[in-house]
Amino acid sequence: MLSNFVVSLIRTYVPLAVGFALTWLASSLKVVVDPSSQAGLVALMVAVLSAAYYFLARLLEKQWPWLGVLLGAVAAPKYEKKQ
């Protein structure tokens, strides 16, 4: 069983990887962008697509918990309150 820390890292980085992959896919469609704007646009696209993917995966996970696999781990980490 993975520790809560590892699960939290997986569920953070899987959406980033998906956002990167979607951005790469969009850029492979040969859309022409001004070279001076390209780096900023790519960074923005990765951020927006990653956030959208995470949001959608979390919504789906609320309805069907097994879809947590879209975030790389079925169960969300469980944090204990320290007293």
And the tokens for 37? 């704007």
Instruction: Reply yes or no on whether the pLDDT at 45 is more than 80.
Output: yes
The tally of domains found in the chain comes to 1
Q: Say how far apart CA 35 and CA 27 lie, in whole Å.
A: 13
Instruction: Reply yes or no on whether the pLDDT at 83 is more than 90.
Output: no
> Residue 8 belongs to what domain range?
4-71
Instruction: Reply yes or no on whether the pLDDT at 30 is more than 80.
Output: no
Q: Is residue 14 situated within a structural domain?
A: yes
Q: Is residue 32 situated within a structural domain?
A: yes
Q: Is residue 80 situated within a structural domain?
A: no
For the chain, the average pLDDT equals 86
Q: Is residue 62 situated within a structural domain?
A: yes
Please state the rounded mean pLDDT for residues 55-71.
91
Q: Say how far apart CA 44 and CA 17 lie, in whole Å.
A: 14
Q: Is residue 46 situated within a structural domain?
A: yes
Q: Is residue 66 situated within a structural domain?
A: yes
Q: Is residue 67 situated within a structural domain?
A: yes
Instruction: Reply yes or no on whether the pLDDT at 67 is more than 80.
Output: yes
pLDDT at 66: 92
Q: Say how far apart CA 74 and CA 67 lie, in whole Å.
A: 7
